[in-house]
Structure 1
Amino acid sequence: MSEEGGVSLKENLLTYYDKLQCDPCCNSLLKQNFTKDVIEEIGNKVTNSGCTLSDCIKSGVENPDSSTGIYAADAESYTLFAPLFRPIIEKYHGSIKHPFVDFGNPETINFANLDPTGEYIISTRIRVGRNVEGYPFTATISRDQQEALETKIKEALTHFDGDLEGTYCPLPGMDDPTRDQLVEDHFLFQQGDRFLQSAGGYRNWPHGRGIFFNKTKTFLIWINEEDHLRIISMEQGANFDSVYKRLMRGIKILEQHVSFYRDDELGYLTFCPTNLGTTIRASVHIKIPKLSSQPNFKEFCLGLNLQVRGTHGEHTDTKGGVYDVSNKRRMGLTEIEVIREMYNGITQIIEKEKSL
């Protein structure tokens, strides 16, 4: 029987089970689906890269206020520990079946500017997460694997040209002026999220991590943050069209040099199961003081399949009626369908703000 520090894997999981069930404040998807039958069925299994079910649920146990409570320690976790992952994924996404990749035809896509006067939308940002085949996810990757992965990605970055051509800055040894500028631009990812910390997301920090950005800083890639890659297209204003098409071009170039984990049912595989499917998070920082003061503001956004956060990300506050509004659905839709749903939702938010 596999053991962790002299305690069997199942015994350790039963301790986790008791802790979750005894916490009246915990209502995570993990708690709802983590049963003794699940422990009996998959509690002693270990993936080929050495990941256990304990690795996947540790964050949810240490942070009972987590809404989901589970991370995939590696790509195989999604299949080996499917009796726990699948019901959580289906509950969160409302689907367990994802369509084929379809970003749409860039020649026919034409998103009009939603806010040409700049009265409401401050900035637009679209990102995707990707994990590279052959490497464990962030929680269990070794230093040597991180270094090899960073080298592989750096080589792929040399194939960007034109407006995508840019500079790679590794986090270790970053000089003060570069660091200060990236902080000022809100580009520098850092430690600090306790949910990610407990999940092992800062393993070997800051080794093997870095940031790539083009000359205008409208195209960025985070390396070995939460996922192996976070590919980001962004700019000031409300030009969805240019932001989306830039992202499409960047992904297409990367796919010619790097292979990414993807499952026929779950879509692109990510460290956090909430990002599965297209992995797309399209967001705007939008100033809506009238609408946001309404008691049903967040419910209104949810009705449009949109999610509201503070302007500095999840679990942060906001000021002056400015919010980060993004798509909630990532699975069960194609990439172009996600963007259209987001675009149409923001259109309705602006119309509602104008009417108040």
Structure 2
Amino acid sequence: MSIEHFLDNSISSWMAGVGQHSDIVMSTRIRLARNLNGYRFPLAFTEDEAHKIDQSVSATLLDASDELDMQFSSIHIKDVSELSRQVLVEKHLISPKLANSPMTGSVLLSNDESVSVMVNEEDHIRIQCLFPGLQIQEAYAQADVLDRVLDKELPYAFDEQFGYLTSCPTNTGTGLRASVMMHLPALTMTKQMNRIVTIISRLGMVVRGIYGEGSEALGNVYQVSNQTTLGKSEEDILADLQSITEQIIQKEREARDALLKHSANTLEDRLYRSLGTLSFARIMATDEAARCLSDVRLGIDMGLIEDVDVSILNECMVFMQPGFLQKYAGTSLNTSERDMFRAKLLRERLQKEEKQKTKGEESE
């Protein structure tokens, strides 16, 4: 499948707005870091080593398509434009690290984009599985199948005492990073997030923004993931994340109930004002668009706004990003041009949704 399939479609399977607790948990991600025995880590390897690793990993997965019942497309990072790389980052299919790597590297993507295997990122192999809603065990099971297929053909760098060896010591051990992407507007509005972040960090977890380490919580979207990979089993890491996630979900629900009980009119006014802004604004910066989309999503989840599909909002969160905007525009855009084009795309997408609903109602 050509790269255009992955670039032209802003919606991925993990954005479907389904799965357990999907009104709060947008997606679950499992990532396994692995390195091949006998090669230096990407921080120090040569271009020749990078090329050999890329060929070995890609060939193994492509040959195993029938065994995995999954078709992969291999995309060589050096063969795609800087803008295309940015779009792949915005869709969470590759990391900024891989997008900016000067060495030979690639990503193998499943057709539905739920599986992404990055080659020669920070480590030789990064297996990533993205599922909608809260599906920690399901996503891990998929990653484990891929891991076993690769391990059967390629010798991993493994130490009996330390576990899987990785470029960054914080990944050594299981090499497992499990995370959930959560929409937490009520906890943010009621100013509880700082306290929750502090508590979570004491429990060995970390809270980051929508694009992981170093990013901001755009649109009240946070990633909660394990911080420790050494000294704990995969089962314990997953169980801890499940438990903490369920507690945060409960706190978010309580905060939403409190907002409805004590300031329903003010809340509803804010949410509908945001819907109006998305529907009619002519200029929108990224942070304003994210805030408005967050408000409308909250309104949908609380049953206050009924005429918009939540999956449309997930799609909008992706295509409002700079890379996608310029991909759609077919040209480079400066900041002010992006703000105008972003507003235009958001208006058109919401109007398209409204027309489709009206047409469906008329045909009934």
- State whether TM-score is above 0.5: yes
Judge conservation of contact 2:89–2:96 (CA < 8 Å) in 1: no
2:51 alignment partner in structure 1: 147
Judge conservation of contact 2:34–2:124 (CA < 8 Å) in 1: yes
Judge conservation of contact 1:163–1:214 (CA < 8 Å) in 2: no
In structure 2, relative to structure 1, the CA distance for the partners of 1:180 and 1:352 (3 Å cut) is closer
In structure 2, give the amino acid aligned to 1:299.
T
SS in 2 for 1:352: helix
2:238 alignment partner in structure 1: 339
1:117 and 1:145 mapped to 2: Cα distance? 44
1:176 and 1:191 mapped to 2: Cα distance? 13
1:255 alignment partner in structure 2: 151
Deviation of residue 177 (structure 1)?
A: 9.2
1:160 alignment partner in structure 2: 65
In structure 2, give the amino acid aligned to 1:169.
I
1:351 and 1:163 mapped to 2: Cα distance? 37
Judge conservation of contact 1:164–1:219 (CA < 8 Å) in 2: no
The answer as to 2:218 corresponding to 1:319 is yes
Judge conservation of contact 1:285–1:325 (CA < 8 Å) in 2: yes
In structure 1, give the amino acid aligned to 2:42.
T
Deviation of residue 179 (structure 1)?
A: 4.6
Deviation of residue 176 (structure 1)?
A: 8.2
1:131 alignment partner in structure 2: 35
Match of 1:172 among 70, 78, 86: 78
Deviation of residue 181 (structure 1)?
A: 5.4
Query: For structure 1, which segment, 170-179 or 213-222, has the greater mean C-alpha deviation from structure 2 after superposition?
Result: 170-179
Deviation of residue 171 (structure 1)?
A: 0.9
In structure 2, relative to structure 1, the CA distance for the partners of 1:297 and 1:177 (3 Å cut) is closer
The answer as to 2:249 corresponding to 1:350 is yes
Match of 1:222 among 118, 131, 143: 118
2:131 alignment partner in structure 1: 235
% identity of equivalent residues: 29
1:219 and 1:164 mapped to 2: Cα distance? 9
Dislocated runs of 4+, deviation >4 Å: 175-181
The answer as to 2:183 corresponding to 1:277 is no
Match of 1:116 among 20, 36, 40: 20
Q: If the length of structure 1 is used for normalisation, what is the TM-score?
A: 0.61
Tell me, which stretches of 5 or more residues in structure 2 are unaligned? 1-17, 256-364
SS in 2 for 1:284: strand
Tell me, which stretches of 5 or more residues in structure 1 are unaligned? 1-113, 194-201
In structure 2, relative to structure 1, the CA distance for the partners of 1:322 and 1:252 (3 Å cut) is same
Deviation of residue 242 (structure 1)?
A: 2.2
In structure 2, relative to structure 1, the CA distance for the partners of 1:222 and 1:247 (3 Å cut) is same
Deviation of residue 308 (structure 1)?
A: 0.3
SS in 1 for 2:117: strand
Deviation of residue 333 (structure 1)?
A: 1.1
Judge conservation of contact 1:171–1:206 (CA < 8 Å) in 2: no
Judge conservation of contact 2:94–2:107 (CA < 8 Å) in 1: yes
In structure 2, relative to structure 1, the CA distance for the partners of 1:291 and 1:306 (3 Å cut) is farther
SS in 2 for 1:320: helix
Match of 1:300 among 190, 199, 204: 199
SS in 2 for 1:326: strand
In structure 2, relative to structure 1, the CA distance for the partners of 1:192 and 1:212 (3 Å cut) is closer
Within-5 A mapping of 1:16-55 = none
1:245 alignment partner in structure 2: 141
1:300 and 1:255 mapped to 2: Cα distance? 37
Match of 2:94 among 188, 197, 214: 188
1:299 and 1:154 mapped to 2: Cα distance? 41
In structure 2, give the amino acid aligned to 1:119.
D
Deviation of residue 183 (structure 1)?
A: 4.2
1:109-164 deviations in whole A, cap 9, x for unaligned? xxxxx963521001110001001001001121011111111111122112233443
SS in 2 for 1:172: helix
Deviation of residue 322 (structure 1)?
A: 1.3
Match of 1:210 among 106, 110, 130: 106
Deviation of residue 219 (structure 1)?
A: 1.1
In structure 2, relative to structure 1, the CA distance for the partners of 1:258 and 1:213 (3 Å cut) is same
Name whichever structure is richer in helix by fraction.
2
2:124 and 2:235 mapped to 1: Cα distance? 23
1:115 and 1:288 mapped to 2: Cα distance? 17
Equivalences, count: 233
Deviation of residue 329 (structure 1)?
A: 2.0
Judge conservation of contact 2:207–2:223 (CA < 8 Å) in 1: yes
